[in-house]
């Protein structure tokens, strides 16, 4: 399933490392994500999986290595054949192809729900407000929150907030979207509604998705490929059946058995 | 006593005019300076940060009265002569602006980091992030401390007494210089008037606070 | 214009001894009023928590009134009204200490209040359960927990009060600003004295405020760990 050598990857991590001071959290990762592919990234906390997503969203700069998005370097530019650090203008250009949903939603508290969803298309894509509102309403409809459009985020439940955050990211029509532990901050009874929305989006298909998650059943159901990271490296990867039913490495076996025991 | 009040109130009303004018102009200057300095202190460029930090520390490290004297008595040495009113507005506006810059800075820093990250993820530019996401949220936090600052500013205007600008305090002092026996009435009246102006300002700030935050703060 | 700008070092040197001897007055008035404010502020904070609502309300109104009227007018009131209406003649120093002390006691009462509010409610209940008297609860249980974290903030107010002392020159207290004014008016030349006074304030208050900030971060770190 991940043998798609004929197709060009939409995201390509090459020998990516990341350190904070003396602490190296990513120790050399290579990873390709193909258009419309859904990958789930699992692993113990501190394994660097969130950092992987944040580097793609340009929230954290890799210490070394390169990331390509849609055939173009993300954090670097080629000037006279040499790699130099990208400026904000370059980042701005590439960033348009990437979207992200955060663990803590990060909705804008001073804007109504509709405004949250339409602000970026108006400001960044230069859409008219009318046009943006049309698309915004479509997306709010998709996540089932059209009746909340005039509310403020503080009036919504956590699950509703996260659904708005998903709509807000979708409106920008990214080619790849990072879902960073989007259910970890939710009360257990609200997890389902958010996962259902993501499954629905995944079924539509056209967007690549990077699902950083602790929800194993969800990863298994949605992902085309599962990446298991531990200690800053990719320890094992493969289709969900293989990863969950026939884990090869001892590390993954331990992780899964501990995880199942907890549930 | 009623007679005394009737005698002193009219001239004091004139002084109120000057005090209110002074408060108004200095507030506008102070808020402007506070925003400019507050933003400069968060600049990407260390030179801008350094200059604004030094300016704020110099203003905060000396005292308003010294600055008032400096503008009034020392500026003429440099060939610049201001009216007492301009001097008052400049000194008071700059002084409270420097204190206000700390409010602006800390309110901006208090906006959660996730807000900036979400704005980056939506590909807003640096400038758009500041204008549409960070500052509107910081504004809500700024209103109450700015309210307190403006009350302090009102009180600070009384120092123009020293540069003989005929504000409320100065006029009351001249009244009492010719009517020693009525000192109690004059100063009590003076205190009450300041208290009243301050209460009105507090009401105004509360109104603004309500308008700005209406149902929005999480 | 340039010759008017010239800095006169001889003139400056003549002024400095006056300034340094007045500095003693400035410092004395600062610490004396700080002591008044420390005690007055604590008293006000406790009164605002008094069991009798009337007392609590009066204390609150007093704080509100003093905080929203200018220090200079309060100083005038004490210095000029007391002798005439209450037959109480006060020296500029005493009047200044009372005015500055009371003014800032209202600010410090807010500081104490925040510290007292930060003490866990369970502490009051535990004290009651152990049958401590109200005064014992304050002195033995609440204040020993409430006050130490406030020390940097209190230090800040000491610096603020120090910078407010020039206002007391209005009631003829000969602190450094008063001396500078007097010295300058003899020759109508204020450049040097006023600048030197400004520098002296900066020289004393900036390092002190750095010290306070240092104490603050240390305290925060202690509490964080």
pLDDT of A75-84, one tens digit each?
999 888 888 9
At A260, list the tokens. Answer: 């199942």
Query: Domain containing B204: what range?
Result: 2-213
C206 touches chain B (CB under 8 A): yes
Strands A72-73 and A98-101: unpaired
The structure tokens 């944040």 sit at A54
The CATH number linked to A162 is 3.40.50.300
User: Which pLDDT value is given to residue C1?
Assistant: 43
Between chains, do C72 and B181 touch, taking CB under 8 Å as contact?
no
Could you tell me if residue B142 is inside a domain?
yes
B132, part of any domain: yes
Q: Could you tell me which chain B residue has the CA closest to the CA of C205? A: B61
Q: Looking at the domain assignment, is residue C78 inside a domain?
A: yes
In whole angstroms, how large is the CA radius of gyration of chain B?
21
- Is A4 a member of any domain? no
Residue B134 belongs to some domain of the structure: yes
Considering only alpha carbons, which residue of chain B is nearest residue A177?
Answer: B121
Report residue C222's pLDDT band, with 50, 70 and 90 as the boundaries.
Answer: confident
Structural domain boundaries enclosing A172: 35-58+97-262
Q: Which two tokens stand for residue B74?
A: 């020392």
The percent helix, strand, coil of chain C (3-state, each to 5) is: 85, 0, 15
| Distance of residue C141 Cα from the nearest chain B Cα, in angstroms | 32
CATH number, domain at C90? 1.10.3720.10
Write down the residue that tokens 């403020």 correspond to: A152
Mean pLDDT of C152-174: 95
Q: Please give the full DSSP string across C86-138, using - where no structure is assigned.
A: S-----HHHHHHHHHHHHHHHHHHHHHHHHHHHS-HHHHHHHHHTT--HHHII
- Does the pLDDT at position A217 exceed 70? yes
Per the CB < 8 A criterion, the answer to whether B116 and B134 are in contact is: yes
pLDDT of A151 > 60? The answer is yes
Answer whether residue A97 shows pLDDT above 50. Answer: yes
Q: Please give the residue that has the higher pLDDT: either B16 or C5.
A: B16
ipTM comes to 0.91
Q: pLDDT tens-digit profile of C75-93?
A: 999 999 999 999 999 999 9
Of B176-180, C53-57, C164-168, minimum mean pLDDT range: B176-180
Residue A258: which pLDDT band, with cuts at 50, 70 and 90? confident
Q: How far from chain centre, in Å, is Cα B217?
A: 26
C83 in any annotated domain: yes
Please give the DSSP secondary-structure letter assigned to residue A77.
E
Q: Considering the domain boundaries, does residue A77 fall inside one?
A: no
Per-residue pLDDT at A1: 45
The H or E element that residue A16 is part of is strand A11-20
Average pLDDT over residues A48-65: 94
Residue C225 confidence class, pLDDT cut points 50, 70, 90: very low
Domain count, chain B: 1
* A30 domain residue, yes or no: no
pLDDT for residue A262: 59
Task: List all residues 6 or more positions away from A146 whose beta carbon is below 8 Å from its beta carbon.
Answer: A137, A140
Taking CA atoms, C23 is separated from A228, C75, C160, C191, in Å, by 70, 20, 16, 19
Residue among B66, B181, B184 whose CB faces C201 most closely: B66
pLDDT of residue C187: 86
Look at residue C126 and tell me if it is in a domain.
yes
Residue A196: what pLDDT?
Answer: 94
**pLDDT over 70 (residue C2):** no
Residue B218 lies in a domain: no
Other beta carbons within 10 Å of A70: 16
Characterize the bridge pairing of strands A176-180 and A76-79.
Answer: unpaired
Q: What is the predicted pLDDT for the residue at A6?
A: 64
Residue A164 lies inside a defined structural domain of this protein: yes
Q: Which of C5, C7, C73 to mutate to test the interface with B (most CBs of B within 10 A)?
A: C73
Q: Is residue B156 part of a domain?
A: yes
Task: Give the chain B residue nearest C7 (alpha carbons).
Answer: B77
| Residue stretches of chain B with pLDDT short of 70 | 214-218
Beta strand pairing status for A23-33 and A38-42? unpaired
Q: How many domains does chain C have?
A: 1
On whether residue C134 sits in a domain, the answer given is yes
Angstrom distance (rounded) from CA A49 to CA A172: 24
User: How many structural domains are present in chain A?
Assistant: 1
Per-chain mean pLDDT for chain C: 92
Residue A232 lies in a domain: yes
CA–CA gap between residue C193 and residue B186 (Å, rounded): 34
Q: Which pLDDT value is given to residue C193?
A: 93
Q: With respect to residue A9, please indicate whether it lies within any of the assigned structural domains.
A: no
On whether the CB atoms of residues A95 and B120 are closer than 8 A, the answer is yes
Q: How far away is chain A from the Cα of B167, in angstroms, using its nearest Cα? A: 41
Domain that holds residue C160: 22-173
User: Does residue C137 form part of some domain?
Assistant: yes
- B64, B84, B77: which is closest to C177 by C-alpha? B64
Whole-number Cα distances in Å, A47 to A24, A25, A41, A226, C31: 11, 7, 10, 15, 56
Pairing, β A208-212 against β A225-230: unpaired
Dist CA C32 CA B126 (whole Å): 51
- Please compute the mean of the pLDDT values over residues C52-66 and round it to a whole number: 96
- In a mutational test of the A interface, the residue from B113, B115, B121 whose CB has the highest number of chain A CBs within 10 Å is B121
Residue B67, domain CATH: 1.10.3720.10
A123 touches chain B (CB under 8 A): yes
How much of chain C exceeds pLDDT 70, in percent?
A: 96
Give the mean model confidence (pLDDT) for residues C211-223: 84
**Residue A247: inside a domain:** yes
pLDDT of amino acid A131: 95
């Amino acid at each position: 399933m991940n043998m798609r050598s004929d197709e060009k990857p939409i995201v390509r991590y090459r020998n990516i490392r990341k350190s904070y001071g003396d602490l190296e959290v990513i120790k050399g990762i290579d990873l390709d994500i193909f258009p419309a592919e859904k990958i789930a990234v699992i692993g113990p906390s501190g394994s660097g999986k969130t950092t992987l997503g944040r580097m793609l969203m340009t929230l954290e700069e890799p210490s070394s290595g390169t990331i390509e998005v849609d055939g173009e370097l993300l954090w670097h530019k080629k000037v006279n054949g040499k790699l130099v650090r990208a400026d904000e203008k370059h980042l701005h250009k590439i960033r348009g192809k990437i979207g992200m949903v955060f663990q803590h939603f990060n909705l804008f508290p001073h804007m109504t729900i509709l405004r949250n969803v339409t602000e970026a298309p108006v400001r960044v894509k230069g859409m008219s407000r009318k046009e943006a509102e049309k698309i915004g309403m479509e997306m709010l409809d998709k996540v089932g929150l059209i009746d909340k459009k005039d509310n403020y985020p503080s009036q919504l439940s956590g699950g509703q907030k996260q659904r708005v955050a998903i709509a807000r990211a979708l409106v920008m029509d990214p080619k790849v979207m990072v879902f960073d532990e989007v259910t970890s901050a939710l009360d257990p009874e609200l997890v389902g509604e958010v996962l259902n929305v993501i499954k629905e989006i995944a079924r539509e298909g056209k967007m690549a998705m990077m699902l950083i998650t602790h929800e194993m059943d969800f990863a298994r159901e949605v992902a085309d490929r599962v990446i298991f990271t531990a200690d800053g490296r990719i320890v094992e990867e493969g289709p969900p059946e293989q990863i969950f039913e026939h884990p090869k490495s001892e590390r993954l076996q331990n992780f899964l058995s501990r995880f199942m025991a907890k549930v | 006593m009623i007679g005394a009040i009737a005698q002193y109130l009219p001239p004091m009303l004139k002084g109120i005019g000057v005090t209110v004018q002074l408060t108004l102009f200095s507030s506008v200057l102070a808020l402007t300076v506070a925003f400019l300095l507050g933003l400069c202190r968060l600049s990407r460029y260390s030179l801008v940060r350094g200059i604004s930090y030094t300016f704020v520390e110099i203003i905060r490290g000396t005292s308003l009265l010294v600055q008032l004297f400096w503008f009034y008595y020392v500026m003429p040495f440099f060939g610049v002569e201001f009216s007492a009113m301009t001097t008052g507005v400049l000194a008071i506006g700059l002084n409270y602006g420097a204190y206000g810059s700390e409010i602006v800075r800390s309110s901006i820093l208090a906006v959660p980091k996730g807000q900036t990250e979400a704005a980056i993820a939506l590909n807003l530019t640096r400038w758009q992030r500041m204008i549409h996401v960070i500052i509107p949220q910081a504004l809500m936090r700024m209103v109450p401390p700015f309210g307190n600052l403006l009350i302090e500013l009102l009180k600070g205007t009384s120092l123009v007494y020293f540069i003989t600008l005929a504000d409320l305090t100065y006029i009351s002092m001249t009244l009492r210089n010719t009517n020693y026996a009525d000192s109690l009435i004059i100063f009590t009246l003076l205190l009450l008037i300041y208290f009243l102006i301050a209460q009105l300002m507090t009401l105004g700030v509360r109104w603004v606070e309500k308008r700005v935050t209406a149902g929005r703060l999480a | 214009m340039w010759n008017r700008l010239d800095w006169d070092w001889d003139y400056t040197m003549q002024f400095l001894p006056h300034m340094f001897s007045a500095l003693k007055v400035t410092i004395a008035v600062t610490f004396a009023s700080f002591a008044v404010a420390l005690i007055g502020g604590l008293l006000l904070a406790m009164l605002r928590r008094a069991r009798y609502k009337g007392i609590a309300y009066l204390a609150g109104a007093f704080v509100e009134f003093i905080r929203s009227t200018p220090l200079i007018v309060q100083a005038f009131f004490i210095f000029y009204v007391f002798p005439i209406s209450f037959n109480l003649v006060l020296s500029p120093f005493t009047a200044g200490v009372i005015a500055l002390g009371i003014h800032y006691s209202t600010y410090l009462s807010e500081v104490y209040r925040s510290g007292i509010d930060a003490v866990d409610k369970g502490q009051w209940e535990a004290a009651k359960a152990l049958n401590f008297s109200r005064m014992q609860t304050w002195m033995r249980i609440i204040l020993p927990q409430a006050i130490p974290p406030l020390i940097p903030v209190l230090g800040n107010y000491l610096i603020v009060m120090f910078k407010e002392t020039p206002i007391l020159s209005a009631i003829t207290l000969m602190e450094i600003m008063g001396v500078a004014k007097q010295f300058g008016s003899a020759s109508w030349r204020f450049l040097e004295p006023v600048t030197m006074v400004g520098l002296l304030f900066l020289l004393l208050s900036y390092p002190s405020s750095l010290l306070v900030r240092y104490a603050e971060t240390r305290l925060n770190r202690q509490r964080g760990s």
